[in-house]
Each structure stands twice: as structure tokens, then as C-alpha cells.
Amino acid sequence: MKASVGNHVLELRDGDITEMDTDAIVNAANAQLVLGGGVAGAIRRKGGPTIQAECNKIGGASVGGAAITTAGNLKAKHVIHAVGPRMGEGNEDEKLKNATLNSLKLADENNLKSISFPAISTGIFGFPIKRCAEIMLKTTIEHLKSETGLEKVVFCLFGHDSYEVFADRLERETSE
């Protein structure tokens, strides 16, 4: 599914984010930037040890923050490590918005034209997928309406159910 936001493309895909060939893919990271399981584990396995070595040099990021590394053996050129909230820690909606926005800003600061996001914090961190879709899509659409060099933002979702939740939300956001 694709939608236009000004001169920008917002796209949804059901697939494996490690196979995306956008300038950057976003890793749903922990604050220590340790590539463990889920999206991060897949990035570590396919991207090779370089990504973790660069994360180790960075040392960590705050919840809601983001950091950028190269992408090792992945098709993308960069990995943006966005630290999403764990459910129950408080102020989760604002932290997820910040993780999304800081990733988009980091893409702009590095002159990237395209970026792919997963559904941040919806796995092991327990964030509800419907709230995630609403927050991430609204934040992205607002950013695309501002001054940005990004041409394309993709939400690469793992599984049909997650895709459908984001598709329903995107339809609402772009028809209002």
C-alpha cells in the first residue's frame, strides 16, 4: 500500500526489514544498543559483526533517542537504532513518538532519501500494535509535511496482521 504526502511516498510492506534496500533501515533497539533478539537479532545475523562493533563504540542511547551506524552486509547503507519504550515504564506514547521523530531527523542529518521502519516496541517491549501504528504514522506524516530531504518512508511490517493494522491506520490518516 502506498500513499502520497506532498512529494513524498509513504509505503507499507509485509516482509523482512533486513531485505529492504532503502538508504537506512531502523532497528528497534534497546538502550544499550545490544543486538539481541527480534528485529535487532535479524539485523545482527544478516548484517555481520560490524554493526554491533559500531554500536559498542556509541555505547548506548536514551529511550526515545536514536543512533546511526553503517549496515554491514545488508542491502541498506545504514542502520538507525531507535530506542523505543517498554510498556509499563511510563510516558510510552511520547517516547515512541520521539524514537520515530529522532530516526527521521537522523536520516535528514545524514542526507538520506529513504528509510524503512519496523513497528517499534511491539515485540518483546509489549507496546500495543494499534497505538504504535497511530503514533508512528502520525509522526511520520507530520515530518513529511515539514522541511525534509526524505523522499520515501517505508513501514516494513512482519506478518499480515501487523500490516493490516498499519494499513487501516494509514487509510484513516490520509483520508482525514
pLDDT digits (tens, 9 = 90+) for 149-161: 999 999 999 899 9
| Mean pLDDT confidence for 64-88 | 97
Residue 139 sits in a domain whose CATH number is 3.40.220.10
- The answer to whether 66 and 82 are in contact (CB under 8 A) is yes
Residue 38 scores a pLDDT above 90: no
| Mean pLDDT confidence for 97-109 | 98
CA distance 132 to 137: 8
Tell me if residue 174 falls in helix, strand or coil: helix
Residue 170 scores a pLDDT above 80: yes
- Tell me the percentage of the chain whose pLDDT exceeds 70: 99
Question: Within its chain, how far is the Cα of 29 from the centroid?
Answer: 10
| Mean pLDDT confidence for 126-153 | 97
How many domains, in total, are found in the chain?
1
* Residues forming beta bridges with residue 114, ordered by sequence position: 152
pLDDT at 17: 96
Confidence band, pLDDT 50/70/90 cuts, at residue 163: very high
Residue 22 scores a pLDDT above 70: yes
In this predicted model, which residue has the larger pLDDT, 81 or 174?
A: 81
| Mean pLDDT confidence for 79-99 | 97
pLDDT at 176: 64
Residue 173 scores a pLDDT above 70: yes
CA distance 102 to 63: 11
What's the predicted TM-score (pTM) here? 0.95
DSSP letter assigned to residue 86: P
**Beta carbons within 8 Å of 91's beta carbon, 6+ residues apart:** 85
List, in sequence order, the alpha helices (H) in 48-159.
49-58, 92-109, 129-144
Domain span at residue 85 reads 2-175
| CA angle (47 as vertex; 92, 37 as ends), nearest 5 | 40
pLDDT at 42: 92
Question: Within its chain, how far is the Cα of 96 from the centroid?
Answer: 10
